[in-house]
Structure 1
Amino acid sequence: MLPIVIVMSYAVVGPYILVSFNQNWGTHAFDTNSLKWHKVDDERLPFFGCAALQCSSIFLGLSKKDGPVNAYHICVANSGKDHALKLSIIVLPLRYMGHEVDAGPCFSSLDNGRFCSLSYLVDSSTMTPHHEYNELYPRKVRVNLRTYQIENLSLLEDPAEMLLDGKPEIIISSQWRQSFKILSPSQGFSASSFTFLSV
């Protein structure tokens, strides 16, 4: 039987689309200029899912599924040897008040050194049967939206200066939190609602 192949992590770095799979194949890059694939590293990408460009060559990604967010300095360049492509990644932990930043099931990069995370909590006391399906759906969901601001954004524009530090990390200067209650009094939320929130 052929193995089941799933893309576990990916990022777009300049003209390259980097991908890692659930198999031990390392990391591959698709060059959108030459339309060719290249193996750029023997290890998988160190994040889960998509790493989103924050600024310059700094990307934000989940360190593991539903885990804390880290920043990654990602560079793809010619190694000089047979013009082979080489991947370079430096992990830069994000810290807010000395703690890791837990993004929940999904997050997104915004402009000006900001990013946000979205999570939800189902009120199990409001479960109701759906009229078309033989399943229970909640009528009430609490959605939490957190927005973070990165301190010293100018350092991200010049990562070389930040990397001179022995243990570089990115500091979050502030966090805003908003909570919303979403009600569906008639038939409850369908499964597609939760799929949308988790993407």
Structure 2
Amino acid sequence: MGGKTFISMESAGWIIGIGGNPGSTIIFDTKDNKAIRGPKLIAKKWCPVVAAVGNKIYALSRRPDFLQEPDFLQEADFVPWFEVLDLSKATITETEEGLSLDACSWEALPYQLCFPCKLTPKAYKRPAFITVRSSVVVEPYILISLNQPTNYINAFDTNTGKWHKIDDQYLPFVGDATQLGHGSSIFLASPWENGPINAYDIHVSVSNPENISSVADKGGALKLSITVFSIRNKHGDVSAKKGIITSLGKKHFCELLSFEGCGRYLVYDGETEESYPGKLYLQLCTYQTESRALQGETSEIVVSCQQELTSRIRSSRGFSSAPIAFSLSI
């Protein structure tokens, strides 16, 4: 499971894991409690940015590589950096190896504007280090910001299949923002690592709908509006703890933290000749929010209830040390 990003599809009752090496797709059907093997990505992606919009799943390299790396460097992401899986006609087939998802396959999508697809001989020797710093899905757009200082946001239109730029804007948070309830315009994220958890009211609009086809490629056709709300409890701001923030509906969200076991709980894998922790400790913090309120000149969301639950998981095969990631769905 190492290097995968997990996403939920409420309409199907599925939890889908995508990425890692060799870039497999695994599905867990929560209705039937069964695992389904999905198609492999065209190119492996380590903890990719994943978004589900309608019946389609999008996987974007979080750190694109410009050079084909040796197989032992498992975190290398080579082209294509952006792929889509259309599940509208997918079928489930029972085989000797278990359930398999058929009649669908990953397809390459156009190069994004922020990842240069051509390099000069000099740049090829020392290619730029680019990572996706933050991302959010505001239907029908997938918005991303990079680690490099830029004055624009990259937006992918899932309706037209084209990339656009939103000038003079940036996403004011790190990581993947999670939507607070299906269909909501409120998203949760942290402005910096280990910082407070904020709520962001995000809207994308078209400044000139009649000329969108001619103007969008040049930038300026899309407009972004972001309003920030602080999330507070009786002790002050609610802070992230290096965990995974995910929504549990319109009034609830949680943060999941994982800690690896060590020492005598290590499991040795003869194939990889490496040892993996046999225990994983999980801490789940759940929050219940009240309606938004205006306090002075700032808006905030008040947490009325907070609970913590700690559990321990064992595995005879061990756990990968790669981070777990949850991503975006609409």
TM norm. shorter chain > 0.5 = yes
| In the alignment, structure 1 residue 197 sits paired with structure 2 residue 324 | yes
Alignment partner, residue 43 of structure 2: none
Closer, same or farther: CA 109–85 of 1 in aligned 2, 3 Å: same
Identify the match of residue 222 of structure 2 among 85, 88, 100: 85
Closer, same or farther: CA 164–107 of 1 in aligned 2, 3 Å: closer
Q: d(CA) in 2 for partners of 1:183 and 1:33?
A: 43
Q: d(CA) in 2 for partners of 1:163 and 1:85?
A: 28
Q: d(CA) in 2 for partners of 1:175 and 1:86?
A: 36
| In the alignment, structure 1 residue 166 sits paired with structure 2 residue 285 | no
Alignment partner, residue 173 of structure 2: 47
Q: d(CA) in 1 for partners of 2:269 and 2:132?
A: 36
Alignment partner, residue 256 of structure 2: 118
Residue 127 of structure 1 contacts residue 136 of structure 1 at CA under 8 Å; is this kept in 2? no
Q: d(CA) in 1 for partners of 2:312 and 2:225?
A: 43
Alignment partner, residue 158 of structure 1: none
TM-score by length of 1: 0.78
Task: Note the C-alpha offset of 1:122.
Answer: 2.6
Q: d(CA) in 2 for partners of 1:128 and 1:33?
A: 47
2:255 aligned partner, one-letter code? S
Task: Note the C-alpha offset of 1:45.
Answer: 0.9
Alignment partner, residue 99 of structure 1: 237
CA RMSD, Structure 1 to Structure 2 (Å): 2.8
Q: d(CA) in 2 for partners of 1:35 and 1:198?
A: 25
Equivalent pairs counted in the alignment come to 187
Task: Note the C-alpha offset of 1:163.
Answer: 6.3
Question: 1:78-99 CA deviation, whole Å, 9 max, x = no partner?
Answer: 3459762111112212112223
Q: d(CA) in 2 for partners of 1:32 and 1:176?
A: 37
Secondary structure of 2:324's counterpart equals helix
Alignment partner, residue 178 of structure 1: 309
Q: d(CA) in 2 for partners of 1:149 and 1:178?
A: 15
Q: Matched residues, percent identical?
A: 38
List runs of 5+ in structure 2 lacking aligned partners.
Answer: 1-122, 213-220
Which range moves more in the overlay, 11-20 or 33-42? 33-42
Q: Is the helix fraction higher in 1 or 2? A: 1
Question: 1:111-136 CA deviation, whole Å, 9 max, x = no partner?
Answer: 14111111122333434351414434
Alignment partner, residue 31 of structure 1: 157
TM-score by length of 2: 0.50
Residue 63 of structure 1 contacts residue 70 of structure 1 at CA under 8 Å; is this kept in 2? yes
Q: d(CA) in 1 for partners of 2:204 and 2:227?
A: 12
Alignment partner, residue 137 of structure 1: 276
2:203 aligned partner, one-letter code? C
Task: Note the C-alpha offset of 1:182.
Answer: 1.9
Q: d(CA) in 1 for partners of 2:294 and 2:164?
A: 27
Q: d(CA) in 2 for partners of 1:122 and 1:183?
A: 10
Q: d(CA) in 1 for partners of 2:230 and 2:297?
A: 13
| In the alignment, structure 1 residue 71 sits paired with structure 2 residue 162 | no
Which range moves more in the overlay, 94-103 or 171-180? 94-103
Runs of 4+ deviating beyond 6 Å: none
Q: d(CA) in 2 for partners of 1:135 and 1:169?
A: 47
Residue 57 of structure 1 contacts residue 75 of structure 1 at CA under 8 Å; is this kept in 2? yes
Q: d(CA) in 1 for partners of 2:232 and 2:180?
A: 16
Secondary structure of 1:5's counterpart equals coil
